Amino acid sequence: MDYAATTPVHPDVVKAMLPYFQDIFGNPSSVHSCGQEAKGGVEASRARLAEFLGAGPEEVVFTSGGTESDNFAIKGVAFANESKGNHIITTAIEHHAVLETCHFLEKRGFKLTVLPVDQYGMVDPADVKKAITAKTVLVSVMHASNEVGTIQPIAEIGKITREAGVYLHTDAVQTFAHLPIDVKKLNVDLLSLSGHKLYGPKGVGAIYIRKGTKIEPFMHGGGQEDGRRGSTYNVPGIVGLGKAVEIAQKEMNEEAERLVLLRNRLIKGFQKIEFVRLNGHPQKRLPNNVNVSVAFVEGEATLASLDFEGICASTGSACSSESSEPSHVLTAMHIPPEQARWSMRFTLGKWTTDAEVDRLLNLFPEIVAKLRAMSPLYKSMVKEK
Ligand code: PLP
């Protein structure tokens, strides 16, 4: 139950990738037939992604994943537009790939505004409007939170940035191929996505760059991707990503409906336990995300007990779970640090079954009761009652 951290590769994706390791192994930049055959796989995948996004194929650039796409968007736009201004706007709940990139630029003289969110982790478009100055070159707001699942009003924010003549980037790593995305309707100029969150392979992703966007190349090298990102194409990875998107195009809507039912059942089940609160927006949330705080028990302790039972979940972002600091996302939502430590994230996916949700709901109250029995805080609270 940690599909937001990563997903298994779909068997059909593996099948589509295999020929590109040995039979169709040419370098897509080679002009001979062996290279051109491999290039065919790359371009078919690019066309597939472009179709999904409502973009042109020349607007899709392959990268090594979400982190690179975020770095590319933010540094690329910041460096290419320095003559216009040096102000960047982002939000307090972004993934570290966005936040750390913005802080890196801040250390190099760029001005950074980090917008707050409300108790549900929602950004107010009015705050974006207020923060834009004549020096603003880029706004970066994620499409949906990897931790609490809240879906942001990107189209509305996009209207504001378009009017102001400012670029808008969105990190859609958790939504791409899970929810329908039309870059024109979203009014975005740049969008990040990653293969391993949508039943594709790890180490491959893409960035949508709207035609006409002024952006510096991310990697200087052999001129691949129209000079925007040098380096030999990761052909099997790119082909796998394309296949994963093809499958999503067929299955995504039905799958989202199924997941919403499972998610809601899980939320209802958790809420039967005393002192459990749902983190994130009650409605505007990812179909597969359940983030709860179970008062008086450390999220880590509950997760360890669940792991012992063969259930894998997380406290938040897989990338930051090695840190003992409370989640920056929950902190931004005004959740006190001790309560943030009570949080847990369950993210469901293609192979999560009703029976698995039932098993979790059966085990969970007992685990919580055992841990609470060891909590002096809980004991004193019950005594007071
Ligand atoms: N952005 C978000 C919202 C994510 O959830 C993740 C991965 O957890 C990333 C970026 C990083 O993507 P990748 O692992 O492909 O570098």
Active-site residue, from 34, 102, 312, 319: 319
Average pLDDT over the chain reads 96
Ligand 1 atom 4 nearest Cα: 173
Phi, psi (rounded to 5 degrees) for 249: -60, -35
3-state secondary structure (DSSP) of residue 311? coil
Assess whether 312 carries a catalytic annotation: no
pLDDT tens digits for range 23-76 = 999 999 999 999 999 999 999 999 999 999 999 999 999 999 999 999 999 999
The answer to which of 166-170, 262-266, 316-320, 328-332 has the lowest mean pLDDT is: 316-320
Tokens of 105: 């630029």
Residues of 322-355 as b/e, b for ≥16 C-beta within 10 angstroms?
Answer: eeeebbbbbebbebeeebbbbbbbbbbbbebeee
pLDDT tens, position by position, 272-314: 999 999 999 999 999 999 999 999 999 999 999 999 999 999 9
With the most atoms of ligand 1 within 8 angstroms of its CB, the residue from 7, 67, 175 to mutate is 67
Q: What's at 165, amino acid-wise?
A: G
Q: How confident is the model at residue 322 (pLDDT cuts 50, 70, 90)?
A: low
Q: What sections of the chain are H helices per DSSP? A: 11-17, 19-22, 33-53, 66-80, 96-107, 125-131, 154-164, 183-186, 235-271, 299-308, 328-332, 337-340, 354-373, 376-384
Q: In whole angstroms, what is the distance from residue 243 CA to residue 15 CA? A: 9
- Ligand 1: which residues within 6 Å by Cβ? 65-67, 70, 95, 97, 142, 146, 171, 173-174, 194, 196, 205, 317-319
Q: Are 95 and 171 in contact (CB under 8 A)?
A: yes
Q: What average pLDDT does this structure show over 240-262? A: 98
Residue 308 CA to ligand 1 centre (angstroms)? 27
Q: Using CA positions, which residue lies closest to atom 10 of ligand 1?
A: 66
Predicted pLDDT at 321:
47
Mean pLDDT of 219-236: 96
State the pLDDT confidence band at 385, using cuts at 50, 70 and 90.
low
| 377: confidence class by pLDDT, cuts 50, 70, 90 | confident
pLDDT at 315: 84
Burial of 281 (0-12, 13-18, 19+ CB in 10 A): buried
- Residues for the chain: how many in total? 385
Q: Of the residues 173, 178, 191, which should be mutated to test ligand 1's pocket, given the most ligand atoms within 8 Å of the CB?
A: 173
Q: Which atom of ligand 1 is nearest to the CA of 69?
A: 16
What is the token pair recorded at 110? 């760029």
- φ and ψ at residue 175, rounded to 5 degrees: -115, -30
Residue 163 burial by Cβ neighbours in a 10 Å radius (0-12, 13-18, 19+): exposed
Give the mutation target among 145, 146, 345 for probing the ligand 1 site: most ligand atoms within 8 A of CB: 146
Amino acid in position 292: V
- Residue range 113-117: average pLDDT? 98
Q: Which ligand 1 atom sits closest to the C-alpha of 144?
A: 3
User: Separation of 146 CA from ligand 1 center, angstroms?
Assistant: 8
Q: Which of 6-20, 144-158, 251-265, 363-377 has the lowest mean pLDDT?
A: 363-377
Pairing of strands 87-91, 167-171: unpaired
- What is the pLDDT confidence band of residue 316, given thresholds at 50, 70 and 90? low
Query: Which secondary structure element, helix H or strand E, spans residue 205, and what is its range?
Result: strand 205-209
